[in-house]
């Protein structure tokens, strides 16, 4: 044992001696090599850092941004549209929009198959979109979905958890009254851009301010910022329309369409004193919440875009001009017993045979022969002048898209039959709104008013940006002439007149019927079985609260305006007066016609 210990001690001594004998120079060389290697490594790393931070910074920063920074568009709330009583006619609801992150999707085909039946788009179409944009970090799959679709997509936990798809809350235009006032309001598209009606005309006021911001996103595509300010909402619009009156007008128009099996129908109600549109309706119609489901016929605003020949409603304009120019007096007599009259080779007939009629009776019984004779007394130049005064052949200037100017040829271009034809409402084209405006002038004492439908534009903080007010275009006839004609138009609704079915119990009505044959351009003649039936008037006759026109296109069966349109007028006025609480003037309607001196 002692011998072994001594041996170990001797071996250690020998090892120490060997170490002492290693040359110092070798140690130094080894240290230099190690230090050189370490220094070189630091230099390489430093050079790489400099290259990344300075020379490649812009390129790499862009790549990084694509991965965790996304440009987010904040859609503003579109302005609300109210009726005159601040009832919402167009507003917004919150909806989910579905987006995908193609760069995160591992199996586009599998995901497409899951989503397709829910959003009702083919799997192949979705797959092609995802593959085409596979390098991108965002693409829309479905915008502004209904609640049911959104709930079904939320069940797909895995692709949502993996950040393959996600949801963005967006406002969607919503019309709470459905079809009511659809042709007034119009509609907005998927991008909240106005496409028709007031939504189109006032789009710049309603749309608000779109805002884009850069938002940091985590690996699953969720926003890392929650305090981004919302986009500025749009301005609100206050209408002259009364939602209650609009409902009444639409209901009665729908009933008339169904009863008469008509092709189309129009009704417009106006305050004749101010030019405010209280209601405007067209049939057929559509629901602006689902505009894609409607065709062109349903979306047409015939009240301001479609021209028609007015027929006998034009006789009131003729009579106004004749009275104003003293071409006739109330006691002038006209022999219409023959039942027809020939002018320039064209024969014009009365619907019913009459004997000798005074001027008032020509209008009351709507004699075509009598109207032609009055037109001849007035003369073409004067008649043309008054038609221009009443606004025919020009736009009314109402704030609607697509308003038609109408057709009124210059008197220089009239033929030998034009004066006779225009005296009974032929050879002239107008919109229902133009005719209503003309009768409103008779109702208010002779002033042509500019019709309008938007009362105010109001900012989100409640300030009025723009106000519309009653605008007088021009005086077209004197107050005396207007009053005389109002008295004559009252007789049209009494016994023996053509519009007894427009009679409203307790309140006098003034108005005129129209029954116009539709001109067929294919044959170059007026149709024997296609008509436009109309009634236009105002009530109460001596203190008008409303003026109203009803136009029924191509009714089946009865065609006279007094039988087809007058009852619709009556129903609308009776319900309107109940709604507005207009008192009855008397128990019975009895008219005493008084000759008014000028």
Residue-wise pLDDT tens digits, 112-131: 777 777 777 777 777 777 76
Q: How far is CA 323 from CA 319, 328, 482, in A?
A: 6, 6, 9
Run of H or E including 252: helix 243-260
Strands 346-349 and 333-335: unpaired
CA–CA distance, 422 with 348 (Å, rounded to integer): 12
Taking only the tens place, the pLDDT of each residue in 288-340 is 999 989 999 999 999 999 999 999 999 999 999 999 999 999 999 999 999 99
Q: What structural domains and CATH numbers belong to the chain?
A: 243-450+468-580 (3.40.710.10)
pLDDT band at 16 (very low <50, low <70, confident <90, very high): low
Question: How many alpha carbons fall within 13 Å on the CB side of residue 388?
Answer: 9
Identify the CA nearest to 144 among candidates 213, 72, 93, 88.
93
| Helix boundaries (H) for 355-424 | 359-364, 368-378, 380-389, 418-423
Taking only the tens place, the pLDDT of each residue in 363-373 is 999 999 999 99
Q: What does pTM read for this prediction?
A: 0.80
Q: Which of 312, 366, 533, 534 is catalytic?
A: 312
Taking only the tens place, the pLDDT of each residue in 441-480 is 999 999 999 999 999 999 999 999 999 999 999 999 999 9
pLDDT band at 582 (very low <50, low <70, confident <90, very high): very high
pLDDT over threshold 80, residue 82: yes
Q: Does residue 312 carry a catalytic annotation?
A: yes
């Amino acid at each position: 044992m002692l011998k072994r210990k001594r041996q170990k001690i001797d071996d250690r001594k020998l090892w120490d001696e060997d170490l002492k004998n290693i040359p110092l120079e070798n140690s130094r060389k080894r240290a230099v090599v190690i230090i050189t290697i370490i220094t070189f490594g630091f230099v390489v790393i430093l050079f790489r850092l400099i290259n990344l931070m300075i020379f490649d910074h812009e390129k790499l920063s862009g790549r990084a941004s694509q991965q965790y920074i996304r440009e987010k568009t904040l859609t503003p709330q579109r302005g609300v549209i109210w009726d005159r009583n601040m009832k919402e006619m167009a507003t917004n609801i919150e909806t989910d929009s579905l987006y995908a992150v193609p760069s995160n999707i591992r199996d586009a085909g599998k995901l497409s198959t899951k989503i397709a039946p829910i959003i009702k788009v083919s799997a192949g179409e979705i797959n092609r979109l995802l593959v085409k944009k596979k390098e991108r970090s965002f693409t829309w799959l479905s915008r502004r979905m209904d609640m049911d679709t959104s709930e079904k997509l939320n069940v797909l936990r895995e692709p949502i958890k993996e950040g393959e798809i996600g949801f963005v809350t967006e406002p969607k235009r919503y019309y709470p009254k459905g079809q009511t006032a659809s042709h007034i309001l119009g509609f907005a598209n998927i991008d909240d851009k106005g496409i028709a009606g007031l939504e189109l005309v006032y789009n710049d006021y309603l749309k608000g301010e779109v805002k884009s911001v850069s938002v940091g996103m985590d690996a699953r595509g969720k926003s890392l910022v929650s305090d981004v300010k919302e986009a500025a909402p749009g301005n609100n619009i206050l209408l002259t329309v009364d939602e209650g009156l609009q409902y009444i007008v639409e209901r009665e128009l729908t009933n008339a369409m169904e009863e008469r099996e008509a092709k189309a129908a129009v009704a417009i109600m106006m305050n004749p004193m101010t030019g405010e549109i209280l209601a405007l309706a067209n049939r057929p119609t559509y629901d602006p919440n689902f505009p894609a489901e409607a065709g062109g016929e349903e979306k047409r605003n015939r009240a301001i875009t479609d021209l028609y020949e007015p027929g006998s409603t034009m006789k009131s304009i003729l009579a106004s001009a004749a009275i104003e120019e003293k071409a006739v007096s109330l006691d002038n007599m006209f022999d219409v017993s023959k039942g027809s009259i020939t002018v320039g080779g064209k024969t014009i007939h009365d619907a019913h045979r009459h004997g000798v009629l005074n001027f008032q009776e020509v209008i009351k019984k709507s004699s075509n022969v009598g109207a032609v004779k009055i037109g001849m007394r007035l003369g073409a130049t004067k008649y043309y002048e008054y038609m221009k005064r009443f606004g025919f052949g020009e736009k009314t200037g109402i704030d609607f898209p697509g308003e038609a100017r109408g057709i009124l040829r210059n008197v220089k271009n009239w033929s030998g039959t034009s004066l006779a034809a225009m005296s009974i409402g032929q050879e002239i084209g107008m919109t229902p709104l133009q005719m209503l405006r003309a009768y409103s002038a008779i109702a208010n004492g002779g002033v042509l008013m500019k019709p309008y439908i938007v009362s105010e534009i109001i900012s989100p903080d409640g300030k009025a940006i723009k106000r519309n007010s009653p605008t007088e275009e021009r005086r077209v006839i004197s107050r005396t002439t207007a009053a005389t004609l109002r008295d004559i138009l009252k007789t049209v609704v009494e016994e023996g007149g053509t519009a007894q079915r427009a009679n409203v119990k307790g309140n006098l009505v003034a108005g005129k019927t129209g029954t116009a044959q539709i001109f067929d351009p294919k044959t170059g003649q007026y149709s024997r079985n296609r008509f436009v039936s109309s009634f236009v008037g105002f009530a109460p006759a001596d203190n008008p609260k409303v003026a109203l026109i009803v136009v029924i296109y191509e009714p089946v069966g009865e065609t006279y305006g007094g039988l087809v349109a007058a009852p619709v007028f009556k129903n609308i006025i009776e319900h309107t007066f109940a709604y507005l609480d207009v008192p009855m003037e008397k128990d019975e309607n009895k008219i005493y016609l008084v000759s008014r001196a000028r």
